[in-house]
Amino acid sequence: MPELATSARIIPALSIEELTYSYPHGERGALRDVSLQLGAGELVLLAGRSASGKSTLLRAACGLVPHFHGGHIEGSVQVAGVDALATGPGELAAAVGYLAQDPETQVISTTVAAEVELPLELRGDAPASRARAVEEVALALAIPHLLSRTVDTLSGGELQRVALAAALVTRPQLVLLDEPTSQLDPVAGDELTWLLRRLNEEWGVTILLAEHRLERCLAAADRVIAMDSGAISFDGAPRDFLAWAQDADSALETPAARLFSLAGIDPLPIGVRDARQILASVGWRGAGSPPNGLYFFGRSSHGRPPSPSEKVEFGGDPAPLSHPPTAAKTRDLWIELSTGDEARDVLRGIDLQVERGERVALMGRNGAGKSTLLRAVAGLVEPVRGKIEALNGIALLTQNPGDYLVRERVGDELPGADGMAALRMVGLEHAVDSDPRDLSGGERQRLALAITLAGRMEGGELPGLVALDEPTRGMDRAHKTRLAELVGGLASQGAGVVIATHDVEFAAVFAERVVLLGDGVVIADGPATEILSGGWYFATEVARVLDLPGVITPEQGAAVLLEEERG
């Protein structure tokens, strides 16, 4: 027994040596000479821009690469001492659990209980041990009340937990998660992150977590691995990672780290608590006391000018309008939707007005009614009561841009002069002969936006309202900044822009006004600087660190800190 225990300790949960991989027909390697080891019980954050190789690395660690995806591979991958290149993902299932971005495609069964039990049944476990394992994992993930439910009645967050339960039920040594919070609201995202930390501490599970929103999970991580173009560019402690990112790739900085770096405070903080402790240690007077009455409420709030990497251009003064200033309004809007056997009021008496040129973030937890509100204004859902007026037309881009792309040439999607005008509006006129599938994720999104705009620009003037539903899912910060510039440009040309989003940091960059929905009613509506600094979950990281009214971005926070230093 002592020998066994010792060997269990020294065998790493994941060991990768000189791994190089390219997908079938891939022009360049998806992974290049990757070597790393994860010890038992580590929680490791995998950072990197889009298409840097994070997902491919996770697939290699669970055996999907190369056994399922094919391609050419060199090097070695050992999961808990088992050669992952020699055995398939099924054989590795006992040692590794994998959770991908989209929980919809990760559940197979009809009921939650059957879904969680399936891996054990396929492994040949006895019914009694299966029943106990299901019960334990359900308790660990706080889903016992879901066991008798059917999977198609679950919310995104619940479905994500069920998929995680199915990945954990075999008690794997290693759990791989690919952006598990990308579809979750801030509340559910934070819950999932701390749930992973708890599982890591209590069960000793090694966790490798790929994530774009680093501020959500950096504080929970023991170690960070950054990837760039298929290779590892950094591997070390979270605080060292922040120092590295400051010089190497500012898109990977967290807002709190950026706040500190702009204010010249060292060391950089790995989370809110750490940031507050560091500020206290350098003698900052504390939260709730902005020096010299410096507040940042209002439509535009600029403290210290943002650096070029952070600055978002919104295209100058709004264009003169030939239409009334109101883009859309709803009066006492009630929407009822049927969910299974019962109908539910998803929106309850919404009164809202958006002006042309306004940039509005529509926020709220999963199921609050954000998408339904946009769909109702676009005419996809009939209200049971109330009035909707989209005075100068509306262009709505729903959550999956791919749904708009049905042809094999960009020019075929958008023919004629109006089509070309729409392509020019989103900066894609150069791609008229491209296949939409060859465009990057961000370009596909712009193309889909152009498809919704085409023919709705009278005399070059945009529709009154341009709405986007969760456009930043799975995007890195550089892409989000480009998106903010694009939609900001549309606002400056006279369109009211409404974006439904869970991403508070994106909302802080893009929006001047935030409407917060809760269970179908508007629970807050005001300037972004006020709404995003007045709470905990729907507040930016900088707001949570400084807890000052109206201070939501690193630039604003740094201005406050520098002002205090001068004072």
Partner 1 sequence: MRSPFAYTSRPGPLQAASPGAAVTYLGSLVVVSFLYSNPLVLGTAGAAAILAGLLAGAGRAVRAALWMGLTLALLIVAVNALVVDRGETVLARLGEWPLLGQVAVTAEAVAAGAVLGLRAAVVLVVFAVYSACVDPDRVLRSLRPLAGRSALTATLVSRLVPLAAADGARLRDAARLRGPAAAPVGRAPLARRLLAGSLDRAVDVAATLELRGYALDTPRAPRARARSRYDRRFYVVGAGILAAGIAGKLSGADAFDFYPAIEIGAGPATLAVALVVLLAGFAPLSSRLATYPRYMRGKSPSSTVARPLERTHA
379-438: which residues touch partner 1 (CB under 8 A)? 379-380, 395-398, 400, 402-407, 412-416, 418-419, 422
Using DSSP's 3-state secondary structure scheme, residue 50 falls into: coil
Question: Distance (Å, rounded) from C-alpha 515 to C-alpha 281?
Answer: 36
The answer for residues whose C-beta is within 8 angstroms of residue 289's C-beta and 6 or more apart is 548
Q: Is 375 in the site for partner 1 (CB under 8 A)?
A: yes
Give residues 54-83 in contact with partner 1 (rule: CB under 8 A). 62-64, 67-68
* Alpha-carbon distance values, 237 to 94, 213, 278, 406, 506 (Å): 29, 17, 17, 45, 26
Which one of residues 38, 107, 226, 426 is an interface residue with partner 1 (CB under 8 A)? 107
Nearer to partner 1, 110 or 289 (CB): 110
Nearer to partner 1, 123 or 387 (CB): 123
Nearer to partner 1, 179 or 512 (CB): 179
Nearer to partner 1, 68 or 536 (CB): 68
Cis peptide before 305 (omega within 30 of 0): no
Closest separation in Å from C-beta 73 to partner 1: 17
Nearer to partner 1, 78 or 481 (CB): 78
Question: Distance (Å, rounded) from C-alpha 16 to C-alpha 77?
Answer: 5
Closest separation in Å from C-beta 33 to partner 1: 26
Q: For tokens 């992974």, name the residue.
A: 31
Closest separation in Å from C-beta 214 to partner 1: 26
Which one of residues 29, 48, 119, 367 is an interface residue with partner 1 (CB under 8 A)? 119
Give the total of residues touching partner 1 (CB under 8 A).
77
Which one of residues 121, 201, 313, 438 is an interface residue with partner 1 (CB under 8 A)? 121
The angle formed by the CA atoms of residues 213, 218 and 219, to the nearest 5 degrees, is: 135
Nearer to partner 1, 413 or 512 (CB): 413
Residue 214 · residue 96 · CB < 8 Å:
no
Question: Distance (Å, rounded) from C-alpha 36 to C-alpha 54?
Answer: 13
Which one of residues 88, 264, 286, 305 is an interface residue with partner 1 (CB under 8 A)? 88
Residue 170 · residue 379 · CB < 8 Å:
no
Give residues 18-57 in contact with partner 1 (rule: CB under 8 A). none
Question: Distance (Å, rounded) from C-alpha 19 to C-alpha 28?
Answer: 14
Nearer to partner 1, 69 or 239 (CB): 69
Nearer to partner 1, 262 or 447 (CB): 447
Closest separation in Å from C-beta 291 to partner 1: 48
Give residues 161-200 in contact with partner 1 (rule: CB under 8 A). 166-167
Residues forming beta bridges with residue 236, ordered by sequence position: 224
Question: Distance (Å, rounded) from C-alpha 63 to C-alpha 68?
Answer: 8
Nearer to partner 1, 259 or 422 (CB): 422
Select from 33-41, 112-120, 229-237, 500-508 the region that touches partner 1 (CB under 8 A): 112-120
Q: Is 340 in the site for partner 1 (CB under 8 A)?
A: yes
Phi-psi region for residue 53, left (φ > 0), alpha (ψ -120 to 50) or beta?
left
Q: Is 104 in the site for partner 1 (CB under 8 A)?
A: yes
Question: Distance (Å, rounded) from C-alpha 179 to C-alpha 9?
Answer: 28
* Alpha-carbon distance values, 483 to 48, 184, 410, 412 (Å): 19, 20, 20, 24
Which one of residues 341, 382, 459, 567 is an interface residue with partner 1 (CB under 8 A)? 341
Cis peptide before 186 (omega within 30 of 0): no
Nearer to partner 1, 73 or 531 (CB): 73
Closest separation in Å from C-beta 100 to partner 1: 8
Helix axes 255-263, 238-248, angle to 10 degrees: 70
Which one of residues 30, 34, 38, 100 is an interface residue with partner 1 (CB under 8 A)? 100
Nearer to partner 1, 284 or 404 (CB): 404
Select from 148-156, 206-214, 362-370, 553-561 the region that touches partner 1 (CB under 8 A): 148-156
Which one of residues 8, 18, 70, 108 is an interface residue with partner 1 (CB under 8 A)? 108
Closest separation in Å from C-beta 415 to partner 1: 6
The candidate with the shortest Cα–Cα distance to 511, out of 528, 492, 486, 526, is: 528
DSSP 457: -
Question: Distance (Å, rounded) from C-alpha 18 to C-alpha 31?
Answer: 10
Q: Is 209 in the site for partner 1 (CB under 8 A)?
A: no
Phi-psi region for residue 511, left (φ > 0), alpha (ψ -120 to 50) or beta?
beta
Give residues 440-469 in contact with partner 1 (rule: CB under 8 A). 451-456
Which one of residues 8, 86, 122, 282 is an interface residue with partner 1 (CB under 8 A)? 122
Q: Which helix H or strand E contains 447, and what residues bound it?
A: helix 441-453
Closest separation in Å from C-beta 158 to partner 1: 14
Closest separation in Å from C-beta 413 to partner 1: 6
The answer for residues whose C-beta is within 8 angstroms of residue 7's C-beta and 6 or more apart is none
Give residues 241-260 in contact with partner 1 (rule: CB under 8 A). none
Nearer to partner 1, 384 or 406 (CB): 406
Closest separation in Å from C-beta 366 to partner 1: 17
Nearer to partner 1, 4 or 417 (CB): 417
3-state SS string for 62-88: HCHHHHCCCCEEEEEEEECCEECCCCC
Tokens of 21: 């991989």
The candidate with the shortest Cα–Cα distance to 144, out of 116, 168, 122, is: 116
CA-atom Rg of the chain in angstroms? 25
Nearer to partner 1, 173 or 529 (CB): 173
Q: Is 336 in the site for partner 1 (CB under 8 A)?
A: no
Q: Is 474 in the site for partner 1 (CB under 8 A)?
A: no
Q: Is 87 in the site for partner 1 (CB under 8 A)?
A: no
Closest separation in Å from C-beta 453 to partner 1: 5
Nearer to partner 1, 316 or 340 (CB): 340
Give residues 506-535 in contact with partner 1 (rule: CB under 8 A). none
